[in-house]
């Protein structure tokens, strides 16, 4: 008995390994989405995600890398959002808020859109999906704060009617229009340019919005130097009820 009491006692301490969290995340994605190219995307961002979980880089950087890579490789935005949701339960509690943070969700969506455009597969429906995701986050944020979205934000719309059928000319005109939109709306607003000639900007609904929308329309008109193209502009209110959002966006984009 005395010998047992004199024996040194050792306590086993489990060290947390971020790499195990990333492996568990990949397993959850595979379970939910099956095997396929999406797992290659997860594998590609695993090192930076491991670093983010270890604290040597930020979660925003990791989610930006994931969004851009997934967008470039052609994965739908709703799929990428679901992968991030599957990450939440496998990471330590102290990191879950960072994964869910509104600002990081916006970075993910913007990085996805940038990757989609860089990959050359940014179809109109994809870009509208990106805008709808940003709006959905805005509705949630306003609901949490007891605010009405339709009083806080609106869409600046510039419509180009009669664009030429030549794809190269159309692409050049729209690229110049997007550059003008980002120059005039330079405070982090979401800018979506649709190939059939719609420029949509999600912006704060303040006293300057109508002026900036008109300024954008005039800048686009000056930059394209094409005859027969009519440029229209307006400020489009957002629906107060989020359930009407999808239909409303598609009407505006039509």
Domain ranges of the chain: 18-122, 125-253
Q: How confident is the model at residue 121 (pLDDT cuts 50, 70, 90)?
A: very low
Residues in Cβ contact with 132 at an 8 Å cutoff, skipping those fewer than 6 apart: 245, 246, 249
Residues in Cβ contact with 26 at an 8 Å cutoff, skipping those fewer than 6 apart: 39, 42, 43, 46
Q: What is the pLDDT of residue 74?
A: 82
Lowest-confidence segment of 32-36, 45-49, 79-83, 135-139 by average pLDDT = 135-139
Spatial contact of 71 and 116, defined as CB atoms under 8 Å apart:
yes
- Is residue 115 scored above 80 in pLDDT? no
Average pLDDT on 3-7 reads 51
- Is residue 59 scored above 60 in pLDDT? yes
Q: For Cα atoms 117, 81, 87, give the angle at the middle one, nearest 5 degrees.
A: 130
CATH of 125-253, picked from 3.30.70.270, 3.40.190.10, 3.20.20.70, 3.40.50.300, is 3.30.70.270
Distance CA 88, CA 136 (A): 19
Strand order from edge to edge, sheet including 190-194: 190-194, 198-204, 153-161, 230-237
Q: What is the pLDDT of residue 136?
A: 78
Structure tokens at 174: 């729209």
């Amino acid at each position: 008995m005395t010998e047992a009491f004199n024996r040194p006692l050792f306590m086993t301490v489990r060290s947390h390994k971020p790499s195990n969290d990333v492996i568990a995340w990949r397993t959850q994605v595979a379970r939910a989405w099956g095997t396929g190219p999406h797992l290659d995307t997860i594998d590609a961002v695993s090192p930076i995600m491991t670093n983010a979980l270890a604290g040597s880089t930020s979660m925003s950087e990791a989610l930006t890398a994931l969004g851009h890579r997934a967008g470039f490789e052609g994965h739908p935005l709703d799929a990428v959002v679901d992968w991030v949701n599957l990450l939440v339960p496998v990471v330590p509690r102290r990191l879950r808020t960072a994964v869910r943070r509104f600002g990081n969700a916006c970075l993910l969506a913007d990085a996805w859109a940038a990757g989609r455009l860089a990959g050359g597969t940014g179809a109109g429906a994809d870009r509208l999906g990106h805008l709808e995701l940003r709006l959905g986050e805005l509705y949630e944020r306003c609901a949490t704060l007891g605010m009405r979205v339709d009083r806080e934000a609106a869409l600046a719309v510039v419509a180009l009617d009669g664009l030429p059928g030549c794809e190269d000319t159309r692409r050049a005109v729209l690229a110049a229009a997007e550059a003008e939109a980002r120059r005039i709306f330079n405070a982090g607003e979401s800018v979506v340019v649709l190939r059939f000639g719609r420029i949509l900007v999600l912006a704060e609904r303040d006293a300057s919005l109508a002026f900036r929308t008109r300024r954008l329309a005039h800048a686009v008109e000056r930059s394209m130097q094409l005859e027969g193209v009519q440029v229209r502009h307006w400020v489009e209110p957002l629906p107060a009820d989020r359930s009407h959002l999808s239909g409303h966006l598609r009407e505006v984009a039509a």
